[in-house]
Amino acid sequence: MTTLYYAVGACSLTPHIVLEWIGAPYEAVKVQIGSKELLAVNPAGAVPTLREDDGWLLTQAGAILEYLAHKHPEAGLTGGDSLRERAEAHRWSAFFTSDMHAAFWPVFMPYRYTVATDDAAKKAVVEAGHKLVRKQMAALNAHLEGRDWVLGEGRGTRSVIDAYAFPMIRWGVKMLPGGIADFPNVQALHDRLAADEAVQRVLAREAAA
């Protein structure tokens, strides 16, 4: 069985949702980031970490999403298989990994971005992070104009990339001053995903675990 190591509230919520959408048997193991248990599986001490029965490990959310989407094409979560559709999936996966996720680091862990120890220095780093997050939220909001989902033609087609957006939108709601009120299309994507029964099951499991 596929095993997902996840931490509550982390980006590992993404593959957790995708596994639930796919519907094949899997095990979800709650870990603490940086814990001995997690370090024994993934020396980086980070989530998400995916393990297959033969011991094969996969880290990096974007790689895990691509792997799961193509391992289970019957779930219809790839965003399409043409050359351009695959490129778009890669584009948005990279956006969430490198632009959106990275923008939150200074907000969550300002001490990694300054050698100064005073509160004012940390506050300045957090504020710079907020600015960067808002920039990425604005880019996502503009892309979502007239669309229900991130990938696909017309109003779009639900894919693993929408699951990738979800934890980050939730971080935006929680961490940005004013939340995501300035990004109505992002809010609409959030609400669409939050209304999904599989998403609700995963949130309940993570909250209860």
Ligand X SMILES: N[C@@H](CCC(=O)N[C@@H](CS)C(=O)NCC(=O)O)C(=O)O
Which parts of this chain interact with ligand X (CB under 6 A)? 10-11, 33-34, 45-48, 60-61, 97
What letter represents residue 175's amino acid? M
* Number of residues written out for the chain: 209
- Shortest CB 195 distance to ligand X, Å: 24
Which residue lies nearer to ligand X by CB, 45 or 80?
45
- Tokens 């100064």 correspond to 116
Question: Using CA atoms, how far apart are residues 167 and 108, in angstroms rounded to an integer?
Answer: 14
Which residue lies nearer to ligand X by CB, 132 or 185?
132
Which residue lies nearer to ligand X by CB, 23 or 34?
34
- C-alpha distances out from residue 207 to 13, 17, 30, 194, 202, Å: 11, 14, 10, 14, 8
- Shortest CB 96 distance to ligand X, Å: 8
- Shortest CB 74 distance to ligand X, Å: 25
H or E element in which residue 122 lies: helix 119-143
- Shortest CB 124 distance to ligand X, Å: 21
Question: Using CA atoms, how far apart are residues 207 and 58, in angstroms rounded to an integer?
Answer: 25
Say if residues 103 and 113 touch (Cβ distance below 8 Å): no
Opening angle at CA 181, ends 177 and 182, nearest 5: 95
- Shortest CB 101 distance to ligand X, Å: 6
Give the nearest residue (CB) to ligand X: 46
Which residue lies nearer to ligand X by CB, 126 or 188?
126
Which residue lies nearer to ligand X by CB, 104 or 183?
104
